[in-house]
Chains A and B, each alone.
Chain A
């Protein structure tokens, strides 16, 4: 029987890890993800899991050790945030290109400077082109559910890629909220045992990991890796369908909230999507046709599906919790507008940067944004296509 409980997002991830009981967890602490290895260490000390915990001296080493353990044939994970992820940079690419299906519990936090411990998506967006699958969560329930789906996605033979399960630092990682937890055996059966076809600790079938590839072959390796990331799309959908059967909760590339007849849609990721939904409900009561498209899967990027979902609306607000420093927009803004253009969906698209370094994002901010979209469409008001919301004036 599923159990109704209350816990923080970090507790929810640690609980999912306990239920999965992976083989190896190398980790180095950093705010706001520190609680995850701390709680897993407690589970190990209490004999509740038999995961091998490897204390390391940096995140460069935690990701290196994770790759080593995964290559040896062990189901592996680590957790980090912010500068920790940045220090893993070289290894992130190695994990993906060596096709290591390990999991990373990322608790999103900004990067310096100014130095700050709070949430934005600068860390994971910086790693968006490292070849990892990236899945984002609105709340503790979703990060729990996403983590349970992580290994069935990553370890699928058509994929074999590392996966980053992201949640918003402090906003969900440290917020206690209601949650529904599944039974241990249901989770264990869903995730299953890890049985890699090829691994280093397999004397009957020797292999090498990470050898040099001459230019005559290296490009094909890259293309194969790209195909694997594309393959992840179908696998994510299928795993989501299977997960719905055991949990009753639906998971796809994104959630469409009151978008069917919406004139204006806000496209947003993470915890702020909940705030946007609340605002949408209030605006709907005033007769305004607005909706939210909450993006869950950022890598692989579901470009066609997003374009189709936005094709019936008049304007979209694309919300980035990250600055790209390119003078042209945030990561989501750039990718969503490219998706719209390629699929010939010619609607107004305004890219807003919000919530940097923990700046609060409120229901009122959402009201302001929908009002601005309406001004642009119905009154022809010229709206800045790339702008900040919630900035001190």
Chain B
């Protein structure tokens, strides 16, 4: 197991990429890790590309710069693939996860020759089925945990229930839908992960 894991999130303002990064920091903290979760803002407006980052480590984290050579990249909005070089600096033994209905082989064509592992998750479909709405960040968060192996599925699900109960204290009706979206994402990735198990942390 590597000592630290660096993750870069690509999304658009309003999609919850920053929230997902903060939630990941939250659950990783509960496993006893040192964590960082932070956003990088461009122009503050809905729909503009935004980046968010996670560092998760067994050692104290002191660096306060952005992440340029991540272990894992998560693309919450596939339209970004046409305008942002999402795999820039991504380690070849790392992985990229894209929210799309397409296959990993189809997406790879848009990744500027990236040679590492590529996973796809249809977060829109999962979210719509589980929640009745398109909130892609919960499925993408589950995918980040599944692919990175930063914690077990069981611990993750337990901690996420606690986090959602806190976060959605005023609208508890959305908790079960979000939990279902997480479970569905783990299930959807199971086959792919069994073929290409590159656990990062």
Query: Which of A170, A175, A278 counts the most chain B CB atoms within 10 A?
Result: A175
Q: Which of A6, A174, A176, A275 contacts B62 (CB 8 A)?
A: A275
Chain B contacts for A134, CB-based, 8 A: none
Q: Is the CB of A278 within 8 A of B41?
A: no
Q: Kindly state whether residue A110 has any CB partner on chain B within 8 Å.
A: no
Binary contact track B6-37/A, C-beta < 8 Å → 1, others 0: 00000000000000001001100100001111
Q: Kindly state whether residue A106 has any CB partner on chain B within 8 Å.
A: no
Instruction: Report the Cα distance A118→B43, complex, angstroms.
Output: 10
Q: Is the CB of A362 within 8 A of B38?
A: no
Q: Kindly state whether residue A272 has any CB partner on chain B within 8 Å.
A: yes
Q: Is the CB of A274 within 8 A of B38?
A: no
Q: Is the CB of A278 within 8 A of B38?
A: no
Q: Is the CB of B38 within 8 A of A6?
A: no
Nearest residue (CB) in A for B44 is: A117
The smallest C-beta distance from B44 to any residue of chain A, in angstroms, reads 7
Nearest residue (CB) in B for A172 is: B64
Q: Is the CB of B62 within 8 A of A278?
A: yes
Instruction: Report the Cα distance A138→B26, complex, angstroms.
Output: 21
The smallest C-beta distance from B2 to any residue of chain A, in angstroms, reads 17
Binary contact track A1-19/B, C-beta < 8 Å → 1, others 0: 0000010000000000000
Instruction: Report the Cα distance A361→B62, complex, angstroms.
Output: 13
Q: Is the CB of B29 within 8 A of A360?
A: no
Chain A contacts for B165, CB-based, 8 A: none
Q: Is the CB of B37 within 8 A of A176?
A: yes
25 contacts between A and B (CB under 8 A): A6-B26, A117-B41, A138-B64, A139-B62, A139-B64, A170-B38, A170-B39, A174-B38, A174-B39, A175-B38, A176-B36, A176-B38, A178-B29, A271-B64, A272-B64, A274-B62, A274-B63, A275-B62, A275-B63, A275-B64, A277-B62, A360-B65, A360-B66, A362-B68, A363-B65
Instruction: Report the Cα distance A170→B68, complex, angstroms.
Output: 18
The smallest C-beta distance from A100 to any residue of chain B, in angstroms, reads 33
The smallest C-beta distance from B131 to any residue of chain A, in angstroms, reads 24
Q: Kindly state whether residue B61 has any CB partner on chain A within 8 Å.
A: yes
Q: Which of A170-185 contact B (CB under 8 A)?
A: 170-172, 174-178
Chain A contacts for B44, CB-based, 8 A: 31, 117
Binary contact track A265-276/B, C-beta < 8 Å → 1, others 0: 000000110110
Chain A contacts for B25, CB-based, 8 A: 6, 176-177
Q: Is the CB of B38 within 8 A of A171?
A: yes
Q: Which of A175, A278, A363 contacts B36 (CB 8 A)?
A: A175
Q: Is the CB of B39 within 8 A of A178?
A: no
Q: Is the CB of A171 within 8 A of B64?
A: yes
Chain A contacts for B26, CB-based, 8 A: 6, 176
Chain B contacts for A170, CB-based, 8 A: 38-41
Instruction: Report the Cα distance A288→B134, complex, angstroms.
Output: 53
Q: Is the CB of B34 within 8 A of A178?
A: yes
Instruction: Report the Cα distance A176→B34, complex, angstroms.
Output: 10
Q: Is the CB of A278 within 8 A of B35?
A: no
Q: A6-B26, A6-B29, A178-B29 are in contact. Are A363 and B39 (CB under 8 A)?
A: no
Q: Is the CB of B39 within 8 A of A177?
A: no
Nearest residue (CB) in A for B22 is: A176
Q: Is the CB of B63 within 8 A of A177?
A: no
Q: Is the CB of A363 within 8 A of B63?
A: yes
Chain B contacts for A360, CB-based, 8 A: 65-66
Which 8 pairs between the two chains have the least Cβ-Cβ distance? A274-B62, A175-B38, A271-B64, A6-B29, A176-B37, A362-B65, A176-B25, A278-B63
Further 19 A-B residue pairs, CB within 8 A, beyond A170-B39, A176-B38, A361-B65: A6-B29, A138-B62, A139-B62, A139-B64, A171-B64, A176-B22, A176-B35, A176-B36, A177-B35, A177-B36, A178-B34, A274-B62, A274-B63, A275-B62, A275-B65, A278-B62, A278-B63, A362-B68, A363-B63
The smallest C-beta distance from A267 to any residue of chain B, in angstroms, reads 17
The smallest C-beta distance from B6 to any residue of chain A, in angstroms, reads 13
Query: Which of A6, A278, A360 counts the most chain B CB atoms within 10 A?
Result: A6
The smallest C-beta distance from A10 to any residue of chain B, in angstroms, reads 12
Binary contact track A118-155/B, C-beta < 8 Å → 1, others 0: 10000000000000000000110000000000000000
Query: Which of B22, B39, B65 counts the most chain A CB atoms within 10 A?
Result: B65
